Structure 1
Amino acid sequence: MTESNGLEPGTKKGAGSENAGPEDPNIGDLIAKLERLESTVDEGHERQKVRQTIALVERMPGSRAFTQRVSKYTTRDMAEAFVGAVLFSLPLLVEDGVFEIADYLTSVTVGAIPAFFLANVTFVVVLTAGMLYYTDFRDVQIHRPVFGIIPRRLIGVLVISLLTAAMMMYMWGRLAAEDPTSFETVGRITVIWAAAAFGAALGDILPGESTGTDVSELLDRSGSER
């Protein structure tokens, strides 16, 4: 008499089914499955319930798997990025060498294209993305990207650091010194932006996963209240 194991003929136990999951599941696998579930539900209150479940699992005692994992993007992350941007840009604000660098970036052109200025902007974006997603500081997850492509955290760090650099340059009178042109003024801001973006990225990811409500959830709530 053949013993039945509850599987279809020719199917090996523990194989061939996506629902079976990994052989040795951990809390990280549970969170990943919940996040996939969140992307499939349609109703806002259902997504909120899934997020609440994820937050509950993340707070479970002994969940060391999350000490290196960053998925939420909260207002606290924005504040940490702002502090990091300020700390790294402060030393450069008093240096007149910023003016020389900005003049050089804006003066070197290939035809009518300011090649070095564009190269510097590209460098800032690539450096920030590399710090956030391609270093071993933290396992930063891309969650609910803007337009399905652009990571929210990357946009946040770049915008916060750029605004911080422009604000501090203006507040300390560094944009009006030596009567620069409008393009040279922008060039000065991008020089400080390079350091500010580096500091903002470190300030965001080094402390780890931030507590609080995800920015997307806040936006969903405000949209549903209208």
Structure 2
Amino acid sequence: MTDSEVDANDVGVDDVRSRLEDLEAAVDDESERREVREAIRLVDRLPTDGVRDRIDKFTRRDIAEAFVGSILISLPMLVEDGVNDIAAHLLAAPSLLLINVGFVVVMTAGMLYYAEFRNVEVSRPLFGIVPRRLVAILAIAFITAAFTMTVWGRLDGWTDPAVALSRVSVVWAVACFGAALGDILPGESTGADINDELDEFGERLGIGDDEGLF
């Protein structure tokens, strides 16, 4: 077996995607670039065998998994009156509230990128530096906490927004951990990356730039 045959046999889906991304960056014609993007989307839809340790895509399925994880972990907190006591303590000392927020962000990032449950890579960050998965997990957990607490009457109808937000922040802290675990523990999700789907949607609407919406 020749070296070229070995190399050809060792090429995987990730290698093909990487080369297509290089090709997308190299071509100048917009119609050719769209064809390359479509090829990338087709590669993303290819089935994968087993659970991959490396995670770089972020899909609609990841969003659903994060939502379910945040619900399951935070549900017991919704009926716990201790949430109100903790929220009152944080609200009485705004610096502690900020520390709590910072702690949640750091711990969520640590679970995603450093705890080694999975090898999660930062891919296609927002504005080139902000990890999109981290932002999505924090946002999903916050929306979930705010929605469930509102529906279950734990926020007194938002009559006092400061009190309501402080209570949400307590449940949000727990929901973030659940969302992170729900997202990464199942491994790499199948399907197209959410950025590619948004780019495709933007192209259909005739908006976006040469590099896509995101």
TM-score (norm 2): 0.80
Distance of 2:24 and 2:135 partners within structure 1: 21
- The 5 Å alignment of 1:39-188 reads 40-41=25-26, 43-53=33-43, 56=46, 59=48, 67-108=52-93, 114-176=94-156, 181-188=160-167
Which has the larger helix fraction?
2
Structure 2 counterpart of 1:165, which letter? A
| 1:144-190 deviations in Å (ceiling 9; x for gaps) | 1111111121111111100000001101110018x973212110000
Distance of 1:201 and 1:95 partners within structure 2: 22
Distance of 2:111 and 2:139 partners within structure 1: 15
Structure 2 counterpart of 1:216, which letter? N
Report the alpha carbon displacement of residue 52 of structure 1 after superposing the two structures with TM. Answer: 3.0
Report the alpha carbon displacement of residue 29 of structure 1 after superposing the two structures with TM. Answer: 7.4
| 1:13-49 deviations in Å (ceiling 9; x for gaps) | xxxxxxxxx9xx7748736843752672462331332
**Structure-1 residue corresponding to 2:204:** 225
Query: Are the aligned partners of 1:38 and 1:47 in contact in 2 as well (CA < 8 Å)?
Result: no
Structure 1 pair 32–91 and aligned structure 2 pair: CA distance change class (3 A): same
Distance of 1:81 and 1:89 partners within structure 2: 12
Indicate yes or no: 2:176 matched with 1:197.
yes
Distance of 1:71 and 1:38 partners within structure 2: 19
Query: Are the aligned partners of 2:20 and 2:36 in contact in 1 as well (CA < 8 Å)?
Result: no
Give the count of matched residue pairs.
193
Q: What residue ranges of structure 1 are gaps of 5+ in the alignment?
A: 1-21, 109-113
Larger radius of gyration: 1
Q: What residue ranges of structure 2 are gaps of 5+ in the alignment?
A: 1-6, 28-32, 206-214
Query: Are the aligned partners of 2:44 and 2:192 in contact in 1 as well (CA < 8 Å)?
Result: no
